[in-house]
Structure 1
Amino acid sequence: MVPELDLILNNCCFIVYSNMKYFIENLFFTKCLKQLSVVCLLGILSYPHLLMAQTSKEIIYVGTYSQNNSKGIYVLEFDRENLTTQIIQTIHDKESPTFLALHPNKKFLYAAYREGKNEQDEAGTVIAYSIAPETGKLTKINSVSSVGASPCHISVDPTGNVVFLSHYKGGNLSTFKVLKNGGLSEATSFIQHTGKSVHPNQTTAHMHAMIPSTDGKWVYASDLGIDQILKYKVDIKKGTVEENPVIFQTSPGSGPRHFVFHPSLPYAYSLEELSNTVSIYSLDKSNGDLSPIGRINMLNDKLHSDYNAGADIHFSKDGLWLYASNRGQDNLVVYQVDPESGWLKTQGHIPSGGVHPRNFKVDEIGDFVFVANMETDNIAIFNVDNKTGMLKATDKNIEIPRPVFIEQLFIK
């Protein structure tokens, strides 16, 4: 038996073909390869998660507030079988690296720090890191000023040429050109928003997230303070956005915070922090325009909380289910997505496994959801039921001070 063939066959994990080894051993080598290629293809298509789990190292990056003795960015190795993690690196270049973003090529990571480049700088700092291909550890490439105050969200366009940054306190946004070595240029765009909301606590602009379209032509800026989603045209070559956006006015006092596209259907969804609702939009892919369809409540009517604030929103890997987190009731709501209308149907609410769930991460394979509970210094791990979309607590936690954001990377 050729050892390499045996290894490939085992990696396929295709139990139906368990007797194929005897068949292969009795064939000529050339015919063996032909038969084996079919087996491997079927195995990969049928059980991609098994192959991925067996041949990959899993890395989890966690952004935190620099409180409760937090060490900044945590780099963890995740054991999928035992649901355990090992800290392999921590980085504390500046205070409060609260949001992270992977480059599409998975070779670089960008971190938005609340602290400025020096003590007198009211703006934040953006730091670019290279990722070690064998370990997932980070090495600093360069750092630049975020230009605005209190950066709260960072994202990368799908072509990997532009980084987008949102500033909550400053109510503005900035963009950066990605350099050949993965580092960042100084800010290439800086746009200040103005206005206010009917909500008594929102008297000025508060930018919260910039989400690029899947084709990279547009980026959608959610401004919580002025109840607007603004569509900016992106110049990929220059790393800039045009200054005259198309404005989509949301419901007064709703506070749009985060935004997500359906992975395959022409719909988009806005999590509204202040009204604890999710707004549903149809998406015109020819020009990127949004048309409102309706809104749905996030809260569990059977629970009472004096304070509630929607936080994060993500789809399941198959796009059948949509999840959104709430601080106050401290839960995740599960919605079923209607493939024809894009409408959402509430399936249930799952306790977050801690207090004050901020961002959460749907596992790249689709088996787990990781929820960052900031006030209880833990990331709770949930199993995903792919038939119902519901989440089940594993009672496994990753203990990290003040976790805010979670990213995941597979290393082959």
Structure 2
Amino acid sequence: MSVNVSTRRQFLRGVGSGTLGLTLSGTLHSPSYGSKRPQELLVYVGTYTTGKSEGIYLYRMSLSSGELKHVTTIRGVVNPSFLTLDPERRYLYAVNEVTDFAGKPSGAVSAFAINRKTGKLQFLNQQPSLGGAPCYVTVDRTGGFLLVANYDGGNVSVVSIERDGRLGGVTDADQHHGSSVDPVRQTGPHAHSIVLDQTNRYAYSCDLGTDKIMIYRFDSKKGKLTANKQPWVQVKPGAGPRHFTFHPSGRYGYVMNELDATVMAFTCDSARGTLKETQTVHTLPEGFSGMNTTADIHVSPFGKFLYGSNRGHNSIVVFEIKARTGKLRFIQHAATEGRTPRNFAIDPTGTFLLAANQ
């Protein structure tokens, strides 16, 4: 497993090999952050256990030095390749990226309670995701539902969350349809992510296989998804949309296209849930001719910068975000000091970036 810690200007260190999902919890002493700058964060790292990794790895990270200390490993969790937290940071949810669960063609999602003092995880329960190879999960802003993107299944699903953090049943699912031009990666739908906007009323799912960003209205009382009046955005054929992220203002959105190594900028209408493309930029330096696919994308906590990961070039690309338009201006490429940076995370103060090198 390899986790690399970076400031905006300089990478500090890395450890191991095979990392995937990253999520940051609150401090050990003040999980809600409050008005004081936290001194230490809990870092949860998800992995593929079909390789050499053993489950979910827990670290403590110093916010003064960026130093990571391994605390424990939560074993017995199969392929927890993507992780997320509930809004109050009391529970952690992980995908189980498999294609067969309980004898059916489905993956699963698992729930854990977080010990507020130590950060250690207690397994609560597990539920099917109703689609093969779940690769992305999001908790809605009420903490009542988990939204799941199933890559092999080509669909998205919604799972209820009980008051004690346990997962209930599936409340809704939507199957994507179609294909695109890549003869290997785009023969059918591949839902790669699903996120909610700041209003909690609209959900956006990037489908790599169909070159579409699906847009849903989300009912946070019933856990239901319905097609928005603008039901999708069609991106360039062969682009392969993977991850979507919002600017903190809610006015702008950004999509990372995996196959053609581009980022698309959009203006967002929070009242109608619609997207309008304003710009497309490349993530690679001019003249680079090696193999590369992009992966993760995040906006800095204060909305000034956009970051994206290049797998192959093995870098984080950094853009400045123009406040008035949301458009991007290239700043730099920073090496991740490891191979295949699949996911990454930025600490709440905006000081450190942690790159997970697969």
TM-score, with structure 2 as normaliser: 0.86
AA partner of residue 372 (structure 1): A
> Which residue of 2 is the match for residue 152 of structure 1?
135
How high is the sequence identity, in percent, across the aligned residues?
36
Query: What is the 5 A alignment of 1:266-285?
Result: 266-285=251-270
> Which residue of 2 is the match for residue 227 of structure 1?
211
> Which residue of 2 is the match for residue 127 of structure 1?
110
> Which residue of 2 is the match for residue 252 of structure 1?
237
Q: 2:101–2:128: 8 Å Cα contact kept in structure 1?
A: no
Query: What is the 5 A alignment of 1:146-295?
Result: 146-201=129-184, 202-242=186-226, 246-264=231-249, 266-295=251-280
For structure 2, the 5+ residue unaligned runs are 1-32
Residue 38 of structure 2 aligns to a residue whose secondary structure is helix
> Which residue of 1 is the match for residue 355 of structure 2?
371
Mapped to 2, the partners of 1:148 and 1:73 lie a distance apart of: 22
Residue 226 of structure 1 aligns to a residue whose secondary structure is coil
Q: Among 342, 345, 348, which residue is 1:361 paired with? A: 345
- Count of aligned pairs between the two proteins: 324
Summarize deviations over 1:77-121 as a string: whole Å, max 9, x none: 223344333332322333210000100011111010123675633
Cα drift, residue 310 of structure 1: 1.0
Mapped to 2, the partners of 1:93 and 1:185 lie a distance apart of: 21
Summarize deviations over 1:173-201 as a string: whole Å, max 9, x none: 11111111111111111211110012222
Q: 1:360–1:372: 8 Å Cα contact kept in structure 2?
A: yes
Larger proportion of helix = 1
Query: Relative to structure 1, is the Cα distance of residues 49 and 81 closer, same or farther in structure 2, using a 3 angstrom cutoff?
Result: farther
Cα drift, residue 259 of structure 1: 0.4
Q: Among 34, 38, 41, which residue is 1:58 paired with? A: 41
Mapped to 1, the partners of 2:245 and 2:164 lie a distance apart of: 29
Residue 37 of structure 2 aligns to a residue whose secondary structure is helix
Summarize deviations over 1:199-247 as a string: whole Å, max 9, x none: 2221100000001011100100110100111111111111221256711
Q: Is 1:90 matched up with 2:73?
A: yes
AA partner of residue 211 (structure 2): D
TM-score, with structure 1 as normaliser: 0.75
Summarize deviations over 1:114-133 as a string: whole Å, max 9, x none: 23675633311111111111
Q: Is 1:336 matched up with 2:320?
A: yes
Q: 2:197–2:250: 8 Å Cα contact kept in structure 1?
A: no
Q: 1:162–1:240: 8 Å Cα contact kept in structure 2?
A: no
Residue 325 of structure 1 aligns to a residue whose secondary structure is strand
Query: Relative to structure 1, is the Cα distance of residues 69 and 200 closer, same or farther in structure 2, using a 3 angstrom cutoff?
Result: closer
AA partner of residue 314 (structure 1): H
Cα drift, residue 144 of structure 1: 0.5
Q: Among 295, 307, 321, which residue is 1:323 paired with? A: 307
Summarize deviations over 1:372-400 as a string: whole Å, max 9, x none: 111xxxxxxxxxxxxxxxxxxxxxxxxxx
Q: 1:260–1:314: 8 Å Cα contact kept in structure 2?
A: yes
Greater relative CO (CA pairs within 8 A, separation 6+) = 2
Greater shift in the superposed pair: 348-357 or 90-99: 90-99
Mapped to 2, the partners of 1:297 and 1:239 lie a distance apart of: 36
Mapped to 2, the partners of 1:323 and 1:240 lie a distance apart of: 31
Q: 1:116–1:145: 8 Å Cα contact kept in structure 2?
A: no
Mapped to 1, the partners of 2:77 and 2:151 lie a distance apart of: 18
Residue 187 of structure 2 aligns to a residue whose secondary structure is coil
Mapped to 1, the partners of 2:89 and 2:310 lie a distance apart of: 30
- Structure possessing the higher radius of gyration over alpha carbons: 1
Q: Is 1:101 matched up with 2:84?
A: yes
Q: 2:98–2:134: 8 Å Cα contact kept in structure 1?
A: no
AA partner of residue 261 (structure 1): F
Mapped to 1, the partners of 2:253 and 2:262 lie a distance apart of: 14
CA RMSD of aligned residues (A): 1.9
Q: 1:218–1:233: 8 Å Cα contact kept in structure 2?
A: yes
Residue 82 of structure 2 aligns to a residue whose secondary structure is strand
Mapped to 2, the partners of 1:108 and 1:355 lie a distance apart of: 30
For structure 1, the 5+ residue unaligned runs are 1-47, 375-412
Cα drift, residue 66 of structure 1: 1.0
